[in-house]
Amino acid sequence: MRKPSDYAILQVLPRLETGGVEQVVVELTEAIARTGARALVASLSGRLVPAIERAGGMHIALDLETRNPLRMSWNGDQLARLIKTHRVSLVHAHSRAPAFAARAAARRRAIPFVTTYHGAYGDSGPLKRRYNAVMASGDRVIAVSHYIAGLVRERHGVAENRLRVVPGGVDPARFDPDTVNGRVERLARNWRLPDGAPTIMLPARLTSWKGQAVLIEALTRLRHRDAIAILVGGAQGRDSYMKSLAEAAKRRGVSSRVLFAGDCADMPAAYMLADVVVNASTDPEAFGRTIVEAQAMRRLVIATDHGAARETILDGETGWRVKPGDAAALAAAIDAALDMPIDARIAMGAAARDFVAEHYSIAAMQAGNLAVYHELLG
């Protein structure tokens, strides 16, 4: 009978920087290692490599983010050798470019291949559709929400016996509003936040579809003229977009009310600084991890009414949903949230945390992925 240590799971992704996909890989590494199996991750290096190692995994530096067909073929050879050397039992791909090489290597070594469909992915033409289809080619295809599962069925015709829905999750011990203590005050000092001003937070990398421009426009329409907006997230090379946001804030006369906070290593403390957390994405979110994290922290949450937000927010009960790209609707929702009496805020925050604990725990996400591995490995 095979022991857990006889198994090795290899996860592949482009690089280990910040982001929801990268965090999932870290969390799955911890779950795999906890079973006694060996957890391997292949990607370019990044700031989350130490987190992989702390979770009990082994990182293997490999440039898998290229879209060059010849380099993809070479990467397939590299992964095939890696699979043989480390006696890998199953390969799990989390991104499209690495998935091509991972699929070829897994087929060559006759081991199971799993994909997680993490994004809605643009589907603008036949070539893009073929490129996306690699994420629907696994022996099992994991969708991160029922919204994504619907896209996978519609676009790729994936049969139900290959499709599994495993939503993302958050760690209730890390995202616990009762444990942040003095960290909130330190962060407020670092960000130089004015005392007493209502605070609206948009946590997302700086890219246009995340809706930072919509929030800046909404800021000009608020009745709460003292409210400030904190944009938490790095530009990741999109300096021109960050500059355009700063210029838009200046043109609208709200530059003093917009803070570019950059990346934040302590998101639980950051959420506690917010009166309202906003997800203003103009394109549908595949899952929307920040929506769930903020609810776990008992924050008031407003998100755009499409994608997985329709699953992760109970409108009017654990937060609100507004029309995508509609700055006026977003401003009205923010004003309504800021007008709420304190007891109503507390009640909604408690309902939000209970909802997340029931449906979006990290333990459930880890168990769902491990169950898929078990199906294929026995």
Residues 6+ apart with CB under 8 A from 7: 37, 38, 89, 90, 377
Q: Is residue 176 a part of any domain in this protein? A: no
Q: In whole angstroms, what is the distance from residue 333 CA to residue 164 CA?
A: 35
| pLDDT of 252 strictly over 90 | yes
Q: Are residues 273 and 162 in the same domain?
A: no
Contact 51, 334 (CB under 8 A): no
For residue 8, give the 3-state DSSP assignment: strand
Would you state the structure tokens that stand for residue 93, as one six-digit string? 């791909």
SS (H, E, C) 266-317: CHHHHHHCCCEEEECCCCCCCCCHHHHHHHHCCCEEEEECCCCHHHHCCECC
Q: Are residues 107 and 236 in the same domain?
A: no
Q: Are residues 195 and 326 in the same domain?
A: yes
Q: Are residues 285 and 368 in the same domain?
A: no
Q: What is the pTM of this model?
A: 0.91
pLDDT tens for 108-130 read 999 999 999 999 988 878 888 89
What total of structural domains would you count in the chain?
Answer: 2
Q: Are residues 196 and 111 in the same domain?
A: no
Torsion 42-237-281-174 (CA) sign: positive
Q: Are residues 208 and 146 in the same domain?
A: no
* Domain residue limits at 192: 183-359
Residue 123: per-residue pLDDT: 80
Q: In whole angstroms, what is the distance from residue 151 CA to residue 270 CA?
A: 33
pLDDT tens for 15-63 read 998 778 999 999 999 999 999 999 999 999 999 999 999 999 999 999 9
Task: Give the domain CATH number at 315.
Answer: 3.40.50.2000
Q: Are residues 245 and 223 in the same domain?
A: yes
Contact 137, 114 (CB under 8 A): no
Would you state the structure tokens that stand for residue 180, as one six-digit string? 């942040």
Q: In whole angstroms, what is the distance from residue 103 CA to residue 110 CA?
A: 10
Would you state the structure tokens that stand for residue 22, as one six-digit string? 């990268």
| pLDDT of 1 strictly over 80 | no
Instruction: Specify the range with the lowest mean pLDDT, choosing from 9-23, 24-38, 281-295, 327-341.
Output: 9-23
